[in-house]
Structure 1
């Protein structure tokens, strides 16, 4: 600031007041889950780009968007099945890993195992009281990483590290795990196992900002009811297919049931007082006709068209002026026409 004689000092002071919003070093206490500001948007855009096209209208876009959501739901259901039915692979048989393997999801367990491996390579020094300094041991002329201070409170089994990883991500860092190992704590305190990263995170009811219940999959109940009806009908079809007479009987019963169901739907639809808007045929068209499909002419083409129209007007005016300057010809034409008409009448009288 001294080199530029204080120019831009007001702007710098204004930006510095909002340093917590743009400087990463001031966001250590923010619960960001390790996600950058644009990471979520970029991830969702990468999923959408395979289904979108600039020529799609609104209706087609919503169809493609629903298809992307359906695909993501299927992936989530598959991963949840793998989490609940498959046994995770542990890198070591440590008691602390055996305990969290039944709680954490697969992805979070992998991150936690990495932290445990780093804690095994760390060195620890006890400072005054219940404060420790933890750093990574250097091997083969490696550059040692920065040491962190960890505070351990034995009464409440509370641990706090200066790196603030638990406050940001929600899992304990390797500095805190090293202190727990030093204090002979083989099980992570329950306060440091967030329900968000556990397998039972979706067992409870999830509410949105307005306090409404968030439905995981709106079509899940529909699919369950459909599967229940198919389960009831399938044994009948399997048994009736063995005999032609039984097949004919079951087919007729199904047709009769279909007719009754249509009558039930019509009666139910007629009993509703309010018109239904469940099935929209099309979007409302904009008044004023369709958009012009032809391209807009350039200024040179406009000048040529104007010049051509001007020449046509001049030629028409010259023709009209020429006919007005020779009236005798018009009079002679009229006389000839009248004479021919009189001659025709005279011939008719002679024939009579």
Structure 2
């Protein structure tokens, strides 16, 4: 889609492109995620007829394959808005081209692959820390907004926050009805100038808080649309239902083992080593959560000292396994009591 829209100035040149808003109109029409296929076809025909471009060869060709590139034809495909162009291969190239080249051997490529993964893990950890230690701005402090800030990552929360506010300011209910316990709301969708540009139907079941919108926003992007939030506000729903919280957008969606040292280095995976690593990770998470809170950190420190005193009281002497000899044996993987017999070599020859 991006490549087709980018070619408009090359395919339609001259006074027509310079003296009309053709390019802007096509952009708005093609990138509109809320219209239906029938609406797109009607508006496209009106636009082309108005500019006398019905005989334009290139426009006729791309319109004939509109099902392959116009977003409104993919409304029923889950997550369809996450991949709008050749993003898959471009993102892969961007990931590897910094660390590798076409001249690398297989071993060099594997080393570069590991470096790329470490960079991704580092970025993921930085974003996780930002999400867990900071609070986004919430001017209205709506219950739905507060709930969303606690469950979504920061980036997705900002998108959901926009939908919540637009559902409050740019959408309103024009009529409603109820059939078999399911409420049907007609929602007027307005633009920034509060002019109604479209109407949508939202079905809402108050019994199990099930909601569905004719714009199919949840199917396309994975979070609820402004029309659904408008209905939630009207029905005083203060929490986003769990069924509309896909794991992809949640905090801490990645399991802890992804960042575990055992997945990056040749760390020991015996039961004791795993328990020790889990202890260190829990302590680190608690310390990160209490950043810039000296009183809470001091309270945690007091609790740790109490645990230490209890452990040292129960085990007053240092265990023999902590001796240097035992630690070296564990690192080498051989007991220190192995008898080694060295025999003189046969066939000794002195120089000359």
| TM-score, normalised by the number of residues in structure 1 | 0.52
2:187 to 130, 134, 139: 134
Partners of 1:137 and 1:255 lie apart in 2 by 76
Name the counterpart of 2:228: 176
The answer to whether structure 1 residue 264 and structure 2 residue 334 are counterparts is: yes
Tell me how far apart the structure 2 counterparts of residues 261 and 192 of structure 1 sit (CA, whole Å).
50
CA distance in 2, matches of 1:112, 1:263: 54
Q: Deviations over 1:49-98 (max 9, x none)?
A: 22222332222222112111111011112222222233333242111111
Contact 1:33 1:170 in 2 (8 A): no
Cα distance change on mapping 1:68 and 1:171 into 2, 3 Å: same
Gaps of 5+ in 1: 1-14, 205-213, 232-252, 269-352
Per the alignment, residue 264 of structure 2 pairs with 219
1:124 to 161, 164, 173: 173
Equivalence for 2:74: 27
Q: Is the 8 A contact 1:132 1:179 kept in 2?
A: yes
Distance 2:89 2:215 in 1: 27
Q: Which has the larger radius of gyration?
A: 1
Query: Could you say if the C-alpha distance between residues 260 and 160 of structure 1 is closer, same or farther in structure 2, counting changes exceeding 3 Å?
Result: closer
| Contact 2:204-2:210 at 8 Å conserved across structures | yes
The change in CA–CA distance for 1:90 and 1:62 in structure 2 (over 3 A counts) is: same
Contact 1:133 1:149 in 2 (8 A): yes
- Would the aligned equivalents of 2:74 and 2:80 in 1 still touch at CA under 8 Å? no
Cα distance, 1:133 vs. partner? 2.1
* Alpha-carbon spacing, 1:186–1:263, altered in 2? closer, same or farther (3 Å): closer
Unaligned regions of 5+ residues in structure 2, if any? 1-63, 281-322, 339-352
Tell me the CA shift for residue 33 of structure 1: 6.2
C-alpha deviation, 1:203, in angstroms: 4.9
Separation in structure 1 between the aligned mates of residue 214 and residue 200 of structure 2, nearest angstrom: 6
Check the 8 A contact 1:121/1:136 in 2, yes or no.
no
CA distance in 2, matches of 1:38, 1:267: 62
Relative to 1, partners in 2 of residues 1:139 and 1:47: Cα closer, same or farther, differing over 3 Å?
closer
Residues 217, 224 of structure 2: 8 Å contact kept: yes
Structure 1 position 266, deviation (Å): 12
Question: 1:50 matched to which residue of 2?
Answer: 98
1:64 aligns with 2:116: no
User: Residues 110, 223 of structure 1: CA spacing in aligned structure 2 closer, same or farther, 3 A cutoff?
Assistant: farther
Partner of 2:334, secondary structure, is helix
Deviations along 1:195-224, whole A, 9 cap, x unmatched?
3322243359xxxxxxxxx85651278299
Secondary structure of 1:90 counterpart = coil
Residue 157 of structure 2 is matched in structure 1 by 109
TM-aligned CA deviation for residue 180 of structure 1:
1.2
1:263-302 deviation digits (Å, cap 9, x = unpaired)? 829999xxxxxxxxxxxxxxxxxxxxxxxxxxxxxxxxxx
Residues paired across the two proteins, number: 224
User: Which residue of the other structure, out of 96, 100, 111, is the alignment partner of 2:144?
Assistant: 96
User: What are the residue-to-residue correspondences of 1:142-153 with 2, within 5 Å?
Assistant: 144-153=196-205
CA contact (8 A) 2:329 2:336 kept: no
**2:90 pairs with 1:38:** no
Provide the rounded CA distance (Å) in 2 between the counterparts of 1:92 and 1:220. 47
TM-score by length of 2: 0.52
Answer whether contact 2:153 2:250 (CA < 8 A) is retained.
yes
State the alpha-carbon separation in 1 of the partners of residues 328 and 207 from structure 2: 71
